[in-house]
Amino acid sequence: MTAFRTRTLAASGLAAAAVLASVGVAAPADAAETKSLKISGELEIAPDLEVLEIKADGVTDDQGKTTGTYVATLLAGDDDNPLPFKVKGPITCIHTDGNTASLVYPIAATDPNLIPAGLSEALAVQITVRKGAGEDDSKVGVNGPAPTASFNGCKPAATPFDFDGDIEIK
């Protein structure tokens, strides 16, 4: 009797999904939603005092796989004065929620190369952005570097600094 009831309930569920689909109502999807994040701009510690140029472009597909690249360049006060130091890495995690997004990237390389052999991606950094309503209202935060294994997901962290640039969250 239990097997008959289980088969009947399963068939009823399939029939309901077919009816909903035929009238244009989609059944809930099991796959994750695709998320993307693009960041291009500067972290400011005071008005017009820029210390870090941030460029990130990443996507998490509907299967949950995250790909993308991150590059940070140190600045000497403004974006016209980049210092000869960059940090690069692959984006391994993206979290989006409305006007807030966060990513995690393991440090894969620096320019000049300061990573000892065998330690590439041993440390990671989290970047959190909040897109403001106005042109000068966006914020950014940096968490790390810290051991890569210490990042469990990439829920947004604090965003104490002004961000001068573009943020695209999808």
| Residue 119: both structure tokens together | 């330690």
Classify residue 42 as exposed, middle or buried by CB count within 10 Å of its CB (0-12, 13-18, 19+).
Answer: buried
Please give the pLDDT value at position 117: 86
Give the 3-state secondary structure of residue 95.
strand
Tens of pLDDT, residue by residue over 27-80, are 333 446 789 999 999 999 998 899 999 999 999 999 999 999 999 999 998 888
Tens of pLDDT, residue by residue over 120-163, are 999 999 999 999 998 789 999 999 999 999 999 999 999 999 99
Domain ranges of the chain: 1-30, 35-169
Which of 131, 35, 51 minimizes the C-alpha distance to 83? Answer: 51
| Residue 105: both structure tokens together | 């990237």
This model's pTM is above 0.85: no
Cα angle 79, 85, 86; round to 5: 85
Which of 132, 41, 46, 110 minimizes the C-alpha distance to 79? Answer: 41
Tens of pLDDT, residue by residue over 107-119, are 999 999 999 988 9
